[in-house]
Amino acid sequence: MDTNKKPWPLSTVCGIKERINTNPDFQRPAVWSQPQKQLLIDTIIRGYDIPKLYWRKTGSRPDTYDVVDGQQRLRAIWEFQAGVYALPRDADPVDGFHLASLRYTDLPDELRIQFDTYPLDVVVLSDTDEEEVREMFLRLQNGTTLKAQEKRNAMSGKMRDFIKSLAKHPFFENCRFSNSRYTFDHIAAQMTLIEIEGGPCHVKNSNLNKMYEEQKEFDENSAKARKIRRVLDYLLKAFPEKTPELERYNVISLYAMVSHLLEQYVIQDRHDDIRNWFIQFETYKDEQRKLPEDIRDPLMTSYHDKISHSTDSYESILWRHNFLLEKFFIAFPNIELKDPQRLFTYEQRRAIFRRDNGVCQVKIKCDGVKCEWDNWQADHIIPWSKGGKTVVENGQVSCVPCNLAKSGSQVV
């Protein structure tokens, strides 16, 4: 990596704005408030020092750059120069000049020159790869307010890529919260860890960091990965519209519940039930909060306690998981377990084959073709995932093309 440090006149940096990318994918979104921006401009006009800017050179002639560090400072400078905001009303004078409420074009010449020629210390990194730049970014951000998920997004590896793609799942858009500071990524990472651990577990930042580190080679087509997408698809079908009850703290529990139910129970067509039940549950919780403490449902008080602090601890996640499942099964006492035996045995297959005379009963792709013993499938008439039992009565002969067509048509 080549580093070149030199002072750039501020007006030059404004002049090549189009060639500077302030949003490479490891950067955080703009979050500076107006007073923070004004303070920076005030500092520059007074000629005080500001921290160095780090850019990575991404192209030559014309030179282009990614901002590694200093994105917010650059934006604040550009916006002020473009007249987007003024200095604060209570700004102190500089060298006898009034600054209060002035915009860039209103600055007295002396101060505008001071601004335009202010030397910005820029470190340009060239001949460097993404990995090195990420590493540098993490170091530069260390000790600042950069949040944990932003740091994880700056890591490399297939787990990070997988979580980033999960965070784009449309289900998240239907939740009440937004993706500011990578909330979607954070929750997607927690869901992934719960799936990898096979159920409730600690989902603290340290646990998520460890997962990113240890699963750098995570296979986005693995059974776990597919399961996570299947649960999110299910949730999207259950909550197809923006749902204010889907809060930051309860989505993870809802995920864990649906993941568990999909694994073991017949909830194939229960999307509406799950939505209605969940909204009722949240409504009941809010009603309880309004009651005087002595007549409140004590379990809802405990639930409230669990969603109020240490929400990412194993204890809280497990308690809420069991609580939601308990409430769910009270509301839907007829939810059935899937038959734990999924495949027909040799004896069952023989009985089915003889009974049907080896003739395909499915007839989606054929008119009832006669199958050879070593080239047919035992098909569940009522699909297994819908609670169909693995019994001869629920089995039928299917030719291979019909079986493929039937299983392909089944959605989540």
**Site residues for Zn ion per CB under 5 A:** 360, 366, 399, 402
Rounded Cα distance between 139 and 87, Å, is 32
115 forms bridges with which residues in the sheet?
A: none
Distance of alpha carbon 43 from its chain centroid, rounded? 37
| Token representation of residue 243 | 């749902």
Closer CB to Zn ion, 27 or 398, in the complex: 398
Least distance to Zn ion, CB of residue 310, Å: 56
Closer CB to Zn ion, 124 or 399, in the complex: 399
Determine the Cα angle at 163 with ends 160 and 168, to 5°.
130
Can you give the length of the chain in residues?
412
Closer CB to Zn ion, 155 or 366, in the complex: 366
Least distance to Zn ion, CB of residue 205, Å: 53
**Tokens 């001869």 sit on residue:** 392
Strands of 89-205, DSSP E: 119-126
Least distance to Zn ion, CB of residue 402, Å: 3
Contact, 80 vs 11, CB < 8 A?
no
Least distance to Zn ion, CB of residue 398, Å: 6
Least distance to Zn ion, CB of residue 363, Å: 6
**Tokens 């519940």 sit on residue:** 257
| Token representation of residue 36 | 């923070």
Least distance to Zn ion, CB of residue 347, Å: 23
Closer CB to Zn ion, 125 or 399, in the complex: 399
Rounded Cα distance between 370 and 136, Å, is 67
Least distance to Zn ion, CB of residue 352, Å: 14
12 forms bridges with which residues in the sheet?
A: none
Q: What are phi and psi of 64, to 5 degrees?
A: -125, 155
Least distance to Zn ion, CB of residue 362, Å: 5
Least distance to Zn ion, CB of residue 350, Å: 19
Q: Alpha carbon of 84 to those of 79, 89, 99, 265: distances in Å?
A: 5, 15, 16, 57
Closer CB to Zn ion, 181 or 365, in the complex: 365
Least distance to Zn ion, CB of residue 188, Å: 41
Burial of 2 (0-12, 13-18, 19+ CB in 10 A): exposed
Q: Are strands 20-21 and 64-69 parallel, antiparallel or unpaired?
A: parallel
Closer CB to Zn ion, 120 or 397, in the complex: 397
Closer CB to Zn ion, 189 or 402, in the complex: 402
**Sheet with strand 53-59: strands edge to edge:** 2-9, 119-126, 53-59, 64-69, 20-21
Strands of 110-156, DSSP E: 119-126
Closer CB to Zn ion, 159 or 399, in the complex: 399
Rounded Cα distance between 238 and 274, Å, is 7
Sequence-distant (≥ 6) Cβ neighbours of residue 235 within 8 angstroms: 171, 254, 255, 258
| Helix H or strand E encompassing 9 | strand 2-9
Closer CB to Zn ion, 53 or 397, in the complex: 397
Closer CB to Zn ion, 331 or 400, in the complex: 400
Q: What are phi and psi of 126, to 5 degrees?
A: -130, 170
